[in-house]
Amino acid sequence: MVLPSGQSAWVVTRYDEVQRVLAHPRISTDITRPGFPELTSDPDAERYQLFEGEFFNMDSPRHDFYRRMLIPEFSFKRIKALRAGIQTMIDELLDTMLSNGSRADLAEAFALPVASLGICQLLGIPYEDHKFFQSRVRTRKIEASEDMLAPVAELRAYTDAVISRAERDPGDDLIGRLVTQRVLTGEINHNEAVGMVLQLLIAAHETTSNMIMLGTLTLLRHPGQLAELRADPTLWPGAVEELLRYHSIADGPTFARIALADIEVGDQVIRAGDAVFALCASANHDERAFPRAGEFDIHRSAGNHLAFGYGVHQCIGQNLARAWLETSYETLFRRVPTLRLDAQVEDLSFKYDAAIFGLDEFPVVW
């Protein structure tokens, strides 16, 4: 594949080969390395600078150093303890939506607030600021541009202020614990904490809201399977895994890599210095891994999907994402049994150029 910059890159699409690329210790996620895939057509564009603590784009052992600090915050046990609060949050959002009539944009009335309020509660960020960071996060596109640097800089300045406030008065939340246990003890500095929290803020927001909308659309288009889920709520966890496989909304730029050594992948040799894209959406539709991959099937055993990535860089917040999605879908369809799309599917505005695939709006009626 030739990128907008003119740079050539490998595109890896099959399930087994994508796993190999994502797990290989000699394939790097470090965006500061020379030759890392450039997703811009402007050769003079300012490159994104990797800041301290932004571990998503770091290699081991630096990546592992930061990640291990956050693992307890996203453990199965911690997320299980949060589920009651998640249920309350979602019920209150639906109370508000239902009190405003029988028609809504599900993006603004439900999906975006679930993501915003959920991440605010988790991190310890004031919800009254959600419009600010929501608007900045939603500007991210597949092709990098200088227009994207300013919103990220604004988010970084905002996160810097949040960390400073927590250093003076830490709360009982992720940021408060990170500051108390890591910053004030000298294990990491202020800027490292800013980088860690900024990446969590950005990553959690768009993925959650868009997955809620796309999943809702898919379920509305498969009424027989939706009826099964309504009749037997124990099917929801498996349905969520299938929805994640089916849509795989984080792809492309998320899984850009560069080879640090010659590596055999399938029947090809990727040379040191070559740019690589491991396409998880394609891997999740590989018939060798998922027979009838193009069909949506809530009874499929889809737990081995790659929607959250694979290897040491797989999504750290996947347990929380599952909790948000399961609770959102189950509660929405239980409380709004007559929910239906208020538009033709072909008239919906899909975000084909966004870093995270999804919808701009989602009109519904009940």
Residue 346 lies in a domain: yes
Residue 2 lies in a domain: no
Q: Per the structure, how many domains does the chain have? A: 1
Element (H, E) at 12: strand 9-12
Residue 46 lies in a domain: yes
Best CA proximity match to 214, nearest among 307, 120, 152, 131: 307
Q: Measure the CA–CA gap between 56 and 50, rounded to whole angstroms.
A: 10
Residue 354 lies in a domain: yes
Check which CATH number belongs to the domain holding 203 and give it. 1.10.630.10
pLDDT at residue number 75: 95
3-state secondary structure of 141: strand
Residue 342 lies in a domain: yes
Task: Identify the DSSP state of 169.
Answer: S
Question: Strand pairing partners for 365?
Answer: 103, 340
Q: Residue 196 corresponds to which amino acid?
A: M
Torsion 226-251-109-76 (CA) sign: positive
pLDDT at residue number 142: 47
pTM above 0.75, yes or no: yes
Domain that holds residue 282: 9-365
pLDDT at residue number 139: 57
**Angle at 268 (CA atoms; ends 267, 274), nearest 5 degrees:** 160
Residue 167 lies in a domain: yes
Residue 314 lies in a domain: yes
Tokens standing for residue 175:
């940021």
Q: Measure the CA–CA gap between 22 and 260, rounded to whole angstroms.
A: 13
Residue 140 lies in a domain: yes
Q: How does pLDDT run along the chain (366 residues), one tens digit per residue?
A: 888 888 999 999 999 999 999 999 999 999 999 999 987 666 555 555 678 999 999 999 999 999 999 999 999 999 999 999 999 999 999 999 999 999 999 999 999 999 999 999 999 999 999 888 888 876 555 444 556 678 888 999 999 999 999 999 999 999 999 999 999 999 999 999 999 999 999 888 889 999 999 999 999 999 999 999 999 999 999 999 999 999 998 877 789 999 999 999 999 999 999 999 999 999 999 999 999 999 999 999 999 999 999 999 999 999 999 999 999 999 999 999 999 999 999 999 998 776 788 999 999 999
